[in-house]
Amino acid sequence: MTRMATALTLIIALAAMSRPLTADPLPSACDVLQAIDIAATLGPDTTYALTTEIETQDFRMSLCSADTPDLSSRMTLMVRETLAAQTPDAETLRNQTIDELRETTGQTTVIENLDIGDAAIWVGEIGQLMVWHREGRVLFIFSPAPMQDRTAAEAAALKTLAAFP
């Protein structure tokens, strides 16, 4: 009986070791924006609107917009978390995204690689910061308004990565 219990314990331990460790699931995009206190950046009376929330067996996605009352400042955040067992790494996903963006918006689109998270790009023409996190399993897309407020998007990304390692 003791041998069987020991063998069972070893099998369970080995199975657990072969699975990648996963961090806690991320909250919705609005909860992320509130957790990083985006209102401190945007201004008092910031409101949050969750516009999309989808969950399938393969991914979880939410989209939220934080706005000032006069709509002069905004930070929209999309959080996409892959739940599928296999996913390409962050660098591969970044390169695929760059190729798709260039096909869609043109080869002259200026896309800058950034050293944020596991991989990141800033696409100035559309004013978006895309950050891959947790070995590419998570994608954050920050869209600030005014559209060219890259500094605010980068600050929000760094706070997000610190709050949700």
pTM listed for this prediction:
0.82
**Average pLDDT score, the chain:** 84
pLDDT higher than threshold 70 for residue 136: yes
12-63: pLDDT as tens digits: 332 332 334 356 889 999 999 999 999 999 988 999 999 999 999 999 999 9
Give the residue carrying structure tokens 């991989």. Answer: 119
Question: pLDDT > 90: what percent of the chain?
Answer: 65
Q: Is the distance from CB of 108 to CB of 123 less than 8 angstroms?
A: no
- Per the listing, tokens 């690689």 go with 113
What does the pLDDT look like over 62-120, one tens digit per residue?
999 999 998 889 999 999 999 887 889 999 999 999 999 999 888 888 899 999 999 99
- Mean pLDDT value of segment 117-146: 94
114: alpha, beta or left? (left if phi > 0; alpha if psi -120 to 50): beta
Phi and psi at residue 48, to the nearest 5°: -120, 135
- Asked if 144 contacts 165 with a C-beta cutoff of 8 angstroms, the reply is no
Question: Are 111 and 121 a contacting pair, CB within 8 Å?
Answer: yes
Please list, in sequence order, all residues whose beta carbon lies within 8 angstroms of the beta carbon of residue 105, skipping any fewer than 6 positions away. 123, 125, 126
Q: Domain-by-domain residue ranges, the chain?
A: 23-163
